[in-house]
Amino acid sequence: MLDDAVKALARLGRDPSEFSIAEVPHNRWLTPGIWQVTSSSGRSILKCLGSERGAPRSGWDAHWTAGSDDPGRWNYWAREGLAYLNGTVDAYETAGIVAPHLIASDHDNDQFVLLLDFADGQPGEKWDIDSYAAAAAALGRAQGRMLTGSPALDHPWLSRGFLRQYSSEKPVDWTLLTDDEAWAQPLVRRNFPPELREAALWLHTWRERLYGIAEALPRTVCHLDFWTKNLIMRPEGTVVLLDWSFVGDGAIGEDIGNLVPDASFDHFVAAEKLPDLESAVFAAYTEGLGAAGWNGDPRLVELGMCASAVKYDWLTPFMLGSASAERQFRYGGSEEIDADFKFRERGLALLHNTRTARRALALAEQLGRERRLVTGVPGRVVLGGLGCSGMIFSDGPAIVGPYGTKRPEAARLEPTHGSAHAHRGRLFAAAQRPKAVEGLGPWRPVREYQGQPRGPR
């Protein structure tokens, strides 16, 4: 692997003999190579992105690269390089979130080479809850501007449908959720909360509704990997945000909906502190949105945050499948961890995550009851007017929107006033927004439905 780093430095016009090279732990199926390179002028990070990453050894390895030549998919191989070249990584800069500075780059049709500044500061692994809240506030200010009229990004290589794709494509054995032997394994039985079995099955059963809720919410440019290991705090408070490989279309609240559980899943925040972390992050992010001028209903933010819990639908069966392994490891796979500690903490965090998802459905139903714009049949209410580009039926609650479920043929909908909206994952600036486009939101009905609204596909 060091030979690849030598070739990459030479490709950038650097003399490899002037650098010491150390590999940085990473997922090589997403990023072929990451190294810390040090010369007399200081430390830098060297990254190689490539369309070819060798033959996968398992279905798990293969899923990281499947379809990665599709610019809109979650795992498009060239996205981070393109994000640096056209300035997408600067999208949050005015709010106090920056990417590592690009020193040099080179690319062709099959590879990107990036040389980046080394990010100094306090890594997220050492943060307290106040630091997480500060980062969430900055993210709210950044995404709030995009929701209130700042020019939206519109590149064909931004990811679309990330939440659904990333979560549903994990090659886990879903039958383990109902397998008595899997739940009877000693490591599982000792450490997983008894309620988790039913809760995990519930989450998997309702995943389509949760995807639909998230996909119907107001859209913004999300980082989509906003978590502890990608965050560094400089002494003056600026947040350095690493790894822009997934950046693209996402829901309001989606990034913080990833930040909170992931901090516990990988043991940076104790599971017992998840309620405190969640409250602090939500309050700070919402405050940041308000500071940027977004004055929408904060329950939409909570809805996006909670619906994003579906991202980790796959993690319970994954843990059940790995419970028989002789050794357990921390994130990255290089450091061994006490097995009971890992399963106890993750079990508690997974249970909290399913309860968060339940809040999403309850909140969606509440919003649907309050916003009775269209009544199809008794007990079915359509949500609109809250900045939500979809509709929620109170007996489901089923989403009708650009991704999740079908819209009744006899309905015609127009977008109400807003700032940035999504049409099949495409972001429109306010000045570019069409007057009436199927799939844009928020919505208001211009004539009543004829016939019953449909449920999920």
Burial 225-254 (b: 16+ CB within 10 A, else e): bbbbbbbbbeeeeebbbbbbbbbbbbbbbb
8 Å CB contact between 196 and 354: yes
The pLDDT, as a whole number, for residue 249 is 96
Task: Supply the mean pLDDT for the chain.
Answer: 84
Sequence-ordered list of residues with C-beta below 8 angstroms from that of 232, at least 6 positions apart, any chain: 119, 120, 121, 122, 123, 124, 239, 240, 242
The pLDDT, as a whole number, for residue 189 is 98
The pLDDT, as a whole number, for residue 216 is 95
Inter-helix orientation angle 254-265/129-147, to 10°: 160
Domain(s) labelled CATH 3.30.200 in the chain stretch across 2-63+77-89+98-117
The pLDDT, as a whole number, for residue 324 is 97
The pLDDT, as a whole number, for residue 1 is 65
Return the CATH number of 122-370, one of 3.40.190.10, 1.20.1630.10, 3.90.1200.10, 3.40.50.300: 3.90.1200.10
The pLDDT, as a whole number, for residue 98 is 98
The identity of residue 342, as a single letter, is K
CA-CA-CA-CA torsion sign (71, 311, 249, 243): negative
Nearest to 315 by CA among 353, 272, 267: 353
- Above pLDDT 90, what percent of the chain? 76
β-sheet bridge partners, residue 116: 45, 102
The length of the chain in residues reads 457
Q: What is the pLDDT of residues 269-284, one digit of tens each?
A: 999 999 999 999 999 9
How many CB atoms lie under 10 A from the CB of residue 41?
A: 9
Domain(s) labelled CATH 3.90.1200.10 in the chain stretch across 122-370
Q: Using CA atoms, how far apart are residues 238 and 232, in angstroms rounded to an integer?
A: 8
The pLDDT, as a whole number, for residue 373 is 31
β-sheet bridge partners, residue 105: 114
Q: Using CA atoms, how far apart are residues 184 and 320, in angstroms rounded to an integer?
A: 10
Q: Using CA atoms, how far apart are residues 191 and 199, in angstroms rounded to an integer?
A: 15
Q: What is the pLDDT of residues 33-83, one digit of tens each?
A: 999 999 999 999 999 999 998 889 999 999 999 999 999 999 999 999 999
The pLDDT, as a whole number, for residue 54 is 86
CATH class assigned to 2-63+77-89+98-117: alpha beta
Q: Using CA atoms, how far apart are residues 398 and 437, in angstroms rounded to an integer?
A: 21
Q: Which residues in the chain come in under a pLDDT of 50?
A: 372-457
